[in-house]
């Protein structure tokens, strides 16, 4: 594993760029007509890097009308497509883009929309399918062809960085300072979305099955991103980025080196300049891109008091739902259960969910959770034995069965004895809990519960209104993170 310091030694130092500089550039471009980024988020954890933005779990035209009238620079739409097969994912992307464009046309004056396909910082998801569908739908609806697809999986807050065109995970603990190519991590072995290349240009070639060759990919390395470092002039970087993007046509893939928030802001200024010159771009990105692209400052982590602001917290216990199976989640779950001795632990046995007596087993589980919430927090987790098959479709079916059971437990609990708070751990888990377990249709992302990660949603309608909902990705945080978030919200921990 290379050392990060050694890998960065060949490149310029980062250029300090305030968020306000990006916000001003964005505002200038929007002076003649409102502009909104519509973020198609393939699981809800993309919201963890932003604050005070609307989020939708439904995407009818009237839902977009509500969101666009919030007057914000970006709107999140929870697509949950990482849990769908390719055909379903394609149909959902198309429907969402059509409805968003229809809502933008229906107002007093047309709002200009740009589209973001938000996906995983460890490269899992439907790529290039989702950007392809978005580009085709935009072209069909508006006649506007996409010149380039900008691919930025980096998530520095969570230790994902791209250097020299290679995507890495930063080490922690004894491996701090080291970089592991992402194809050498557990995430690359995903049953549905596995991959073998960490070099982004080769990853694009792999996933596009050669439709885009590696040498056709435009790589914005740190020499370009940080071109203005020597003079301290962000405009130099913006020009270098826009110049490098100039040849893009017909959805040319464009990948970017990113190590810090300043790199993301430099990229945002360059993309703004490229679009000012007339380039039509789509974005395939990790969580922090949108924050930088709209010029939003990094919000400080929310306190427990802020999490309940404007609402009276229930005296019931909180509900912590854990569905993710990645290693860091299992470690976080162990720390939480070790430290939170007052919490009741309810394990959902996956093998019983797949058996004939699943309904009776679910009834028993709900009764147990409701009874336990009267006395304090309840940790509901799926059994840690991951049942996998060699068939990606069957793996997805099993995942859906498990997720449906978790949703049923949450929904029936909510309508019987509402919890003080809900934390959902894992991307698909948190998506299904939001849209179906808590029946959230519209929410506002208030901000992160930990620095740069783990978002709090405030439901603005439905049976969960007033209950803080915490979206916690499966693959972020250290071993203590789940316990720290729970401690902020709990009245018994």
Confidence of residue 74 (pLDDT cuts 50, 70, 90): very high
Residue 454 has pLDDT above 90, yes or no: yes
197 Cβ neighbours under 8 A, 6+ residues apart: 183, 203, 205, 206
Give, in degrees to the nearest 5, the angle at Cα 393 between 204 and 397: 130
Q: Which residue has the tokens 């974005």?
A: 283
pLDDT of 429: 83
Q: Which residue has the tokens 């969960």?
A: 464
Q: Compute the distance between CA of residue 189 and CA of residue 183 in angstroms, rounded to an integer.
A: 8
Range 276-303 average pLDDT: 97
The per-residue pLDDT for range 199-219, each reduced to its tens digit, is 999 999 999 999 999 999 999
CATH code for the structural domain at 4-293:
3.40.50.10840
CATH 3.40.980.20-classified regions of the chain: 304-489
Q: Compute the distance between CA of residue 225 and CA of residue 218 in angstroms, rounded to an integer.
A: 13
The per-residue pLDDT for range 130-170, each reduced to its tens digit, is 999 999 999 999 999 999 999 999 999 889 999 999 999 99
Indicate the helix (H) or strand (E) that contains 36: strand 35-41
Rg (CA), the chain: 22
Higher pLDDT, 378 or 174: 378
Q: What is the DSSP letter of 386?
A: -
Q: Compute the distance between CA of residue 415 and CA of residue 341 in angstroms, rounded to an integer.
A: 27
Residue 131 near residue 255, CB atoms below 8 Å: no
φ, ψ of residue 482 to 5 degrees: the values are: -65, -40
Q: Which CATH class is domain 304-489?
A: alpha beta
Task: Give the helix ranges, DSSP H, for 208-349.
Answer: 222-225, 234-245, 261-276, 289-293, 304-307, 327-339
Range 233-245 average pLDDT: 98
The mean predicted confidence, pLDDT, of the chain is 93
CATH 3.40.50.10840-classified regions of the chain: 4-293
Residue 406 near residue 372, CB atoms below 8 Å: no
pLDDT of 370: 97
Residue 272 has pLDDT above 70, yes or no: yes
Confidence of residue 81 (pLDDT cuts 50, 70, 90): very high
Range 75-91 average pLDDT: 94
The per-residue pLDDT for range 112-135, each reduced to its tens digit, is 999 999 999 999 999 999 999 999
Coil/strand/helix, residue 286: coil
Q: Compute the distance between CA of residue 166 and CA of residue 155 in angstroms, rounded to an integer.
A: 14
pLDDT of 224: 98
Coil/strand/helix, residue 55: strand
Q: What is the DSSP letter of 165?
A: T
φ, ψ of residue 209 to 5 degrees: the values are: 55, 40
Higher pLDDT, 492 or 46: 492
Range 259-268 average pLDDT: 98
């Amino acid at each position: 594993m290379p050392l990060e310091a050694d890998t960065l030694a060949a490149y310029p130092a980062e250029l300090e760029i305030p968020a306000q500089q990006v916000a001003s550039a964005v505002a200038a471009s929007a002076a003649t007509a409102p502009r909104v980024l519509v973020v198609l988020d393939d699981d809800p954890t993309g919201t963890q890097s932003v604050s005070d933005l609307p989020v939708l779990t439904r995407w009818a035209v009237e839902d977009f009308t509500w969101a666009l009238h919030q007057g914000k620079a970006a709107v999140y739409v929870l697509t949950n497509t990482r849990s769908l097969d390719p055909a379903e994912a394609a149909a959902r992307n198309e429907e969402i883009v059509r409805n968003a464009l229809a809502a933008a046309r229906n107002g007093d004056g047309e709002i200009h929309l740009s589209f973001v396909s938000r996906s995983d910082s460890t490269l899992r998801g439907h790529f290039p399918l989702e950007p392809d569908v978005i580009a085709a739908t935009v072209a069909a609806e508006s006649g506007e062809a996409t010149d380039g697809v900008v691919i930025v999986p980096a998530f520095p807050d969570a230790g994902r960085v791209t250097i020299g065109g290679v995507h890495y995970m930063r080490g922690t603990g004894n491996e701090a300072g080291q970089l592991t190519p992402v194809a050498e991590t557990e995430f690359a072995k995903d049953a549905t979305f596995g991959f073998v290349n960490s070099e982004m240009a080769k990853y694009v070639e792999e996933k596009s099955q050669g439709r885009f060759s590696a040498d056709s990919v435009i790589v914005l390395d740190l020499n370009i991103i940080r071109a203005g470092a020597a003079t301290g002039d962000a405009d130099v970087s913006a020009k270098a980025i826009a110049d490098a993007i100039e040849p893009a046509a017909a959805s040319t893939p464009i990948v970017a080196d990113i190590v810090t928030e300043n790199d993301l802001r430099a990229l945002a200024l360059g993309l703004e300049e490229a679009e000012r010159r007339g380039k039509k771009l789509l974005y395939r990105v990790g969580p922090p891109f949108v924050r930088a692209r709209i010029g939003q400052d990094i919000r400080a982590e929310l306190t427990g008091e802020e999490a309940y602001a404007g609402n009276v917290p229930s005296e019931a216990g909180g509900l912590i739902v854990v569905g993710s199976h990645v290693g860091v989640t299992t470690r976080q779950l162990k720390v939480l259960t070790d430290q939170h001795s007052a919490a009741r632990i309810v394990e959902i046995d996956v093998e019983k969910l797949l058996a004939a007596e699943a309904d009776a087993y679910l009834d028993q589980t709900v009764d147990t959770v409701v009874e336990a919430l009267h006395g304090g927090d309840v940790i509901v987790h799926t059994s840690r034995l991951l049942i996998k098959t060699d068939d990606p479709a069957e793996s997805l079916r099993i995942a859906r069965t498990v997720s449906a059971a978790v949703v049923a437990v949450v929904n029936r609990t909510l309508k019987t004895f509402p919890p003080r708070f809900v934390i959902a751990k894992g991307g698909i888990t948190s998506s299904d809990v939001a849209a179906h377990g808590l029946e959230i249709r519209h929410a506002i992302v208030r901000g992160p519960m930990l620095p740069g990660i783990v978002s709090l949603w405030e439901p603005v309608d439905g049976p969960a209104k007033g209950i803080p909902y915490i979206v916690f990705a499966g693959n972020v945080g250290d071993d203590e993170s789940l316990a720290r978030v729970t401690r902020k919200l709990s009245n018994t921990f």
